[in-house]
Structure formats: C-alpha cells, structure tokens
Structure 1
C-alpha cells in the first residue's frame, strides 16, 4: 500500500494556476511572434509529429507536436495519449513525463489513463502538461465526434 499523502487539492490548484498563467503568456507570445492570426493555414501530421503554418501557399513556420490526449464526445471521456496504443510513437514525445509528474506529486488526474470529460478538468490537464513539457504553445483540432489536443514545441521559421 502506498503511504504517501493523499492528493492535496490546494497543491493541484496552485500548480494549475501557475501552468495557466504560463500557458496564456506562451500562447500569446507564439501567436504574436510568429503571426499566427488572420489568413493562416496549417497542416499537421501524427506520423511525423510535425505542424506547419502557411500563408498564401507558402510555409513560414514549422514545429514539433506532442499529442496530449483526446476527447470522445460520444463517450464523454478523455484519454491521455500515453494510454492510447493506436498512436504513432513519434507524436507521443515525452508525454510519459506528465504521467510520472502526476504520480510523483500525487495528482490523480495525470496518471489516470482517462477520465470523464469535464471541459475545465481537460483544460487543467492540458495546461499542466504544457508546463511540465515546457511547450511553446497548445493546439487543438476538433472533429464531429471528438477533439485532439497537442503541445507545440521547437518552433522555427521554415526555410526555403
């Protein structure tokens, strides 16, 4: 039996608050610094864990993706990417560090393979993952039946 202290909700709230502030600042910087507003198109790939942005057909920015997890709207559930055997290894990046961080700090949400979809809890998990993995930003893709959530890393202007 594990004798470590039980989850301290106030500790979790502090971690989430710090992660939320960090994510907001990083996200704003990413959008502003690289001009990711307006008529910007993007393309992403799970297979090579890459995302690119283009304007008028010309790619101007590239980055690496780490999939955080996914939401099934039909099942109203969240599944961490580290618990999803169907994903390519490349897109998992260092997501296992988030699970371990949860275990080491007694934060139950992070090491659970999945949980009931509650938008605020999903947002908290995403922001803490971004903080733990020192992401440049967050990215999400919605489909008719779900949502895919990513971290963006290693942003660099595209060359030639």
Structure 2
C-alpha cells in the first residue's frame, strides 16, 4: 500500500506517458496494416478519423486534445476552444479533472506557451489518462491538431456485409 503523502515525480510520470504512446504508435499501424503514410480524413463533429489502408479502411474514434499555432506559439486545449465540438472537451474531462486533483497547471491552463514539444507532452498525458490506443498529429497550414485514438476498427463495407 503506498503512502498517501508520497510525492509523485510528475516529470517521470510524464516521460512514461510519452514512452507509452510512442510504443503504442509503433503497434497500432502494424496491427491494422497502416504502415507507411496512408491517406486519411477526419470529421471533428463525429470524432472520427478514417485511414485508407491498402486492403481496407480503418475507422478511429478520436479525441481532439488540442491545437498549436506556430504563429501564436501556443497550445490550446480543446476544452478551452469554442471552435471545437464539445464532444472533445467531454472526452478530455478525465484529463482536466486529473490536473485539478493533482494541481498540475499544464492540464488546467487553457493556453500554454510553446509549440510541438509542449503539445506532444499534453497529448501523451491525455492518451495515458484516456487509456488511448495511440495518438495522431495532423498539420493544416499554421495549425497542428493533436488527436488521441480511443478505438480502432476495420471498416465494414456495407455492400459486402452478410445478411
């Protein structure tokens, strides 16, 4: 039984989160036949990301954790961005609550100064707390979108489904 007063080394905990997501990100593309650089499309309203593999499409349920802007030099959590559909903020509540419970400003501050390194740390922490399958980052001009992948499945072709 651990001592309730024992201090957690949050830097080590965060590094473990990053290591875990790096390992998972090596596994899920291999598991679903998505090695290389498959085409993809995402739908923020439905919280979906679809990869076009060589043999089939793979549908991912995702959470947009946040975005960075190179121009602004900051990371903004999705729960703090009114332009992001609320479903993503709801999926991040476990992260926000964890930050509040442990007094971790990184997880409770709406806009964090920095760029990709800070955003990647936030993404991996979110992935750890959400028990994500992995993560995905998409660059759209000045803005990068940071997704956790919560679930993956091979798409079923409606025309080929057995009745």
Q: Where on the TM-score scale, by shorter chain, does this alignment land: which range? A: 0.7 to 0.9
Indicate which of 26, 29, 42 corresponds to 1:28.
Answer: 26
Structure 2 residue aligned with 1:11 = 9
Equivalence for 2:101? 104
Moved more, 105-114 or 38-47: 38-47
SS at match of 1:150: strand
Contact 2:70-2:115 at 8 Å conserved across structures: no
Q: Post-superposition shift, 1:74?
A: 1.4
Which residues in structure 2 correspond to 1:78-157 (within 5 Å)?
Answer: 78-157=75-154
More displaced stretch, 130-139 vs 18-27:
18-27
Aligned to 1:48: 46
Gap runs ≥5 in structure 1: none
Q: Structure 1 residues 93, 157: CA separation in 2 closer, same or farther (over 3 Å shift)? A: farther
The match for 2:35 among 34, 37, 51 is 37
Structure 2 gap ranges (5+):
158-163
Structure-2 change in CA distance of 1:124 and 1:39 (3 Å): closer
- CA–CA separation in structure 2 for the residues paired with 1:91 and 1:50: 11
Q: Distance in 2 between matches of 1:100 and 1:145?
A: 30
What is the CA distance between 1:39 and its match in structure 2?
5.6
- Matches of 2:131 and 2:114, distance apart in 1: 24
Superposition TM-score, scaled by structure 1 size? 0.86
Aligned residues: 152
